[in-house]
A and B are shown apart, each in its own frame.
Chain A
């Protein structure tokens, strides 16, 4: 202001001039909506020492690319990289391009915990897209809670967990299991169920929920057998004979990993015709069918929230984009799609919160909607799970699924269901 002999006379004018002096400071406040080109300063959006610079933000990718789980987790890695490249192409998040650091969990749970610590403490990742099995998630959970990181976890799982440091982009058990059981009882008049599973937490907990639902919440149904096999077991002839003796209306199979291939091949070899014997599974996606062989599993039903054959505009754009990046022969299962949601949901949450700080992301997550999801539409719930629809698909010989049923409404996630524990 230029000096003058005469000071400003009116008090209003003096106040106005004082107020205008403060105006430039407004530019330092964080913006809520970021359009391409708007770039909040790093000090405003990162107050906890995360790896954020003026041009980049670092995330971690933590999956198994070696070992027995590599078969399943490769798809998740591909989907996350696709999402990151798409987000970067539209301008990144809050004006920053996403850089990623990838670590290999090697299908070994202590390695997952160790790499998670490295990503959070050494690389200071703002978020980590990772894990697949419940065992790996349980191994990294204490690390994320201790170092206050944010994990986007893509696999459908057994529930019974809720953490402010995890966003679960896959369905939890009640969303995946209950609608499918209701449908098969109504559609096929099923009365007897034989439960099978691999021997670890997810199949055991899921079958417990299924059993409670069959015995207490549905009419006239009962469980006639329940069997578990070590992960990696390859001989199923005994249990197949048992099932032939018992003749259940529905075989409910939660076999995981390489055992899947052995199970379905031996089932077919034993003469079990899946077009006559109803089999429902929650553990076989398009990725697993690549190893099993479509002809060995055609006719089986799977309950997922996403199938590659879904017919909606988002999926019609997503599938070709995925194939362009990863090869024409790629298949996209439920977990791969859920992994794709991770970076997008993180972007929308960071923009809503106007910050990369994990506490702010956790607080801003409930209510974030993603309308561009290949499965249609999802919304984050207060319990950090997603509202999503459930579908039942029937396996075809070419390795894809025909969607035979879709819930009309979004299913509410309920990781601690009363009456099921």
Chain B
């Protein structure tokens, strides 16, 4: 397949393939960042992460329908508002869930696994009852559809660029929040030594709630972004949850840099392999490699050194 094509052709395809890899990377980072914050910083295994993403997607769908019906003039801009609304909606739901359910289970990781799995099933059925079992189509404004011509033969999908931009924005925001802001310092303090943080006067419960809310809010933004590239249905969250956990665990649960590094590795490997082999084989090889590496290094790629 490599021979018989001109270098120009191959070059353009490699460029487009590079972008495809970057888009996949952005998708993984968006999905995994929220979970990494919750799993890594708080040690909570949130099996309902996919459902928080889909809540963001449904909020986007509703915003799109609202704008189409009442404010058609502003339809091209509804997406930005939808992202903010998705963040707020998922964040609020996350905080409510934390207050009702998670905070009673902090020292019991296996119980949170089961409880959040149950929550995931409940949320799926709630969506099914409110929005119907069928997929919801989300109409995109025309400027977001289609592709951008970078050169004669290189075309980049616009929604891919938007996802990449969004990811960059959110990642930078999260880093500034956690490593520069005062609140971020409190989060890190609670994560490293909860008892001591309590003793110096940090309201650990509030910090936990806000952290959980933040993680879920980011999931909501991811869901909003995915309406451009995927389907929105009550069970669509399940399509993403496995890959998300894969990325987070492979990167080292308590490290955000690890999440990004592992998202990059997995996405580029899969994207390249998919080009030369079939989709299923690529998935098999990627998973086998991840299993192999985790067997040799169970803590993941990057580990924060913490004094215990």
Contacts and interface: CB of A to CB of B under 8 A. Distances in A.
A265 interface: yes
Nearest to B15: A241
Contact of B274 (A238, A261, A269): A238
A262 B9 contact: no
B251 interface: no
Contacts of B125: 66
Interface in B91-112: none
A238 B17 contact: yes
B159 A269 contact: yes
A245 B145 CA distance: 22
A241 B13 contact: yes
A241 B146 contact: no
B161 to A, nearest CB: 10
A271 B236 contact: no
Given A71-B233, A230-B280, A268-B146, A258 B135 contact: yes
A266 B235 contact: no
Contacts, number: 140
A70 to B, nearest CB: 4
A351 to B, nearest CB: 35
A75 to B, nearest CB: 9
Interface stretch (A136-144, A167-175, A277-285, A290-298): A290-298
Contacts of B240: 234
B230 A262 contact: yes
Contacts of B1: 245-246
Contacts of B146: 268-269, 271
A265 B229 contact: yes
Interface in A231-280: 232-235, 237-242, 244-246, 258-262, 265-266, 268-271
Given A235-B24, A241-B275, A270 B228 contact: no
Contacts of B231: 234, 258-262, 291
B5 interface: yes
User: Dominant SS at the A interface?
Assistant: helix
A242 B9 CA distance: 11
Interface in B136-181: 136-139, 145-147, 149, 155, 157-160
Interface in B1-50: 1, 5, 9-10, 13, 16-17, 19-20, 23-24, 27
B133 to A, nearest CB: 4
A205 interface: no
A269 B228 contact: yes
B236 A290 contact: no
Interface residues of A, number: 44
Given A199-B280, A227-B278, A270-B155, A234 B271 contact: no
A68 interface: yes
B250 to A, nearest CB: 18
Contacts of B228: 265, 269
B199 interface: no
Contacts of A377: none
Contacts of B23: 237
Interface in B234-271: 234-236, 238-240, 270-271
B239 A290 contact: no
B230 A234 contact: yes
Contact of B147 (A67, A68, A269): A269
Interface string A57-76: 00000000111101100100
Nearest to B16: A241
A271 B134 contact: no
A268 B13 CA distance: 17
Given A234-B240, A239-B279, A244 B16 contact: yes
Nearest to A293: B137
Contacts of B235: 67-68, 70, 107, 258
Contacts of A229: 278-280
A291 B13 contact: no
B128 interface: yes
Contacts of A233: 279, 283
Contact of A245 (B13, B135, B136, B239): B13
Contact of B137 (A246, A259, A262, A291): A291
30 contacts: A66-B125, A67-B235, A70-B128, A71-B133, A107-B235, A199-B279, A227-B278, A230-B283, A233-B283, A234-B226, A234-B239, A235-B271, A237-B20, A238-B17, A240-B20, A245-B1, A258-B231, A258-B235, A258-B239, A261-B231, A262-B229, A266-B157, A266-B229, A269-B145, A287-B134, A290-B137, A291-B134, A291-B135, A291-B136, A295-B139
Interface of A: 65-68, 70-71, 74, 107, 199, 226-230, 232-235, 237-242, 244-246, 258-262, 265-266, 268-271, 287, 290-293, 295
Interface of B: 1, 5, 9-10, 13, 16-17, 19-20, 23-24, 27, 124-125, 128, 133-139, 145-147, 149, 155, 157-160, 226, 228-236, 238-240, 270-271, 274-275, 278-280, 283
Given A227-B279, A241-B17, 19 more contacts: A65-B133, A71-B133, A107-B235, A199-B279, A232-B238, A237-B24, A238-B20, A238-B274, A245-B1, A258-B135, A261-B135, A261-B231, A269-B158, A269-B228, A270-B155, A270-B157, A271-B147, A290-B135, A291-B231
